[in-house]
Structure 1
Amino acid sequence: MKSVSSQSKAAPEPEVASTETAPPGTAPKRGRPAQRRRAGPGRPEGVSNVRDEILDAAEIEFANLGYAGTSLRNVAEAAQVTQALINYYFGSKYGLFEEVFLRRGRQIADDRMQRLEELRRSGKPPAVADIVRAFLMPALSMRSTAAGRTFMRLQARLHTEPPEISYKLRNEAYETSTRLFAEALRDALPHLSEKDVYWRMTLMIGAYLYAFSDTHRLEEMAPGIVNPDDPEEILKAITSFVTAGMLAPAP
């Protein structure tokens, strides 16, 4: 038998009660992570990434119910695991919420910074519209999947969460990328003060959060006229709106 590494010994798994005798017609909740078994080359047989499944289930619950309205019991039932297993992986409800938000928030931020760097490497000063598109495209691309749309709702809801929850997560995910874009816009908009640029950045963020969050309000107001599910239509509408606002004269 292979020896167990010192790292795995440092964080022993909890003894979680088995639920092998689940009621008929229901899937048993998972306690300890399943033993991995290989039947040859390829992925282990009978193994799923339980940790990611918990995150996926929690993302939906937090997006629908908010932080206060979501309980670990909700998440455990949705993911078909025990609450003890959630605590083992994430420590607490806040630890779970933090990882749910940061796994996609950081992805958006990294994509934004990469797009901005590509603009700068082009050899000419980036146009305002290009900077705006580079900022918006990562979130719009994420919205193309069901999980991404759920995250857009979660992100919009984050702005209504208590400051002790929302400020830390927003800063950790987006502080660096947002400041880089503010600097790029200041260079592209020399007629604006730093205060004006940050106000317009804030208004851009508010516009895209609402437009991307699937509130269905637009379909109700203009049925058959607009198509919020068309990414090209969304990008064209919000980019032209935000760019015009950025280029407006200083107050």
Structure 2
Amino acid sequence: MRRRTGPGRPEGPSDLRERILDAAERKFGNLGFDGASLRDIAGEAGVTQALVNYYFQSKQGLFEETYRRRAEMIGQDRLARLAALKLQPTPLTLPELIEAFIASILSLRGSPGGRAFIRLQARLNLETGRAALRMRRESYDSSTHAYVQEFRRCVPHLTEAAAYIRFVLMVGAYLYAVSDTNRLDELSKTAANTADLMAETVAFMAGGFEAVAAPVGSASARPRAKRRA
């Protein structure tokens, strides 16, 4: 007879909690927070809704735990990659930094669960509520600030404000490219492999970080007047 490991704890396989999180990742990634119900998630996991509530207390609790499970690992992996780069005998380069930052996300394209998380994260990045802001802050702020500091060392002309603007543009660009919407494949008429996507993304972002912005009010910064036909 299986022994209970805590008062009231349900008996069953040790991976039951992970199974619920896997199902939640797929449902939240595909349907969003509002579109996915606890009943749907329980059915996907093959458990009762009561068991989902036992482990996570609420839909919000389940959503946050589903997000943190991968997001915190991504943040830690980014810091580990940055630390490894700093041990190199040669100075860090901008392409190396960008590749290290986006490698964790690109690697998720190799599994259905990983792709579901990318979609979940893309959805969450459009949310402005306190919970969404807190979740992103807790998971990513440490690695974000560390990388932006190194970006500025590679591109000395960037002010702190400009560096963060370009960082946010970078995040938006790579999330859209890898969000599994199939838009890229549809446009190019071919499936983009991860190696090509990494190379092109790094080249595009490096150019963006290194660009010298035209001064506000200069002729090149002003929109051109439409020519009359």
Specify the TM-score bucket, using the shorter chain as the normaliser.
0.7 to 0.9
- Count of matched residue pairs: 214
Which residue is 2:225 aligned to? none
Which residue is 2:210 aligned to? 247
1:165 aligns with 2:143: no
Q: What amino acid sits opposite 1:109 in the alignment?
A: G
Q: Whose helix proportion is higher, 1 or 2?
A: 2
Structure 2 regions of 5+ residues with no counterpart? 215-229
Which residue is 1:104 aligned to? 70
Describe how 1:34-113 pairs up with structure 2 within 5 A. Answer: 34=12, 47=13, 49-113=15-79
C-alpha distance in 1 between matches for 2:59 and 2:177: 29
Contact 1:67 1:161 (C-alpha < 8 Å) held by counterparts: no
Question: Moved runs in structure 1, 4+ residues, more than 6 A?
Answer: none
CA shift digits 1:142-185 (9 cap, x unpaired)? 22112111111111111233522311111111011011001111
1:236 aligns with 2:199: yes
C-alpha distance in 1 between matches for 2:4 and 2:208: 59
Which residue is 1:181 aligned to? 147
C-alpha distance in 1 between matches for 2:11 and 2:207: 53
Contact 2:4 2:11 (C-alpha < 8 Å) held by counterparts: no
Describe how 1:4-23 pairs up with structure 2 within 5 A. Answer: 8-9=6-7, 12-13=8-9
Give TM-score scaled by structure 1 length.
0.80
1:192 aligns with 2:154: no
Structure 1 regions of 5+ residues with no counterpart? 14-31, 35-46
Higher relative contact order at CA 8 Å, sep ≥6: structure 1 or structure 2?
2
C-alpha distance in 2 between matches for 1:88 and 1:161: 27
Identity %: 42
C-alpha distance in 1 between matches for 2:128 and 2:88: 41
C-alpha distance in 2 between matches for 1:91 and 1:247: 47
* Superposition CA RMSD, Å: 1.9
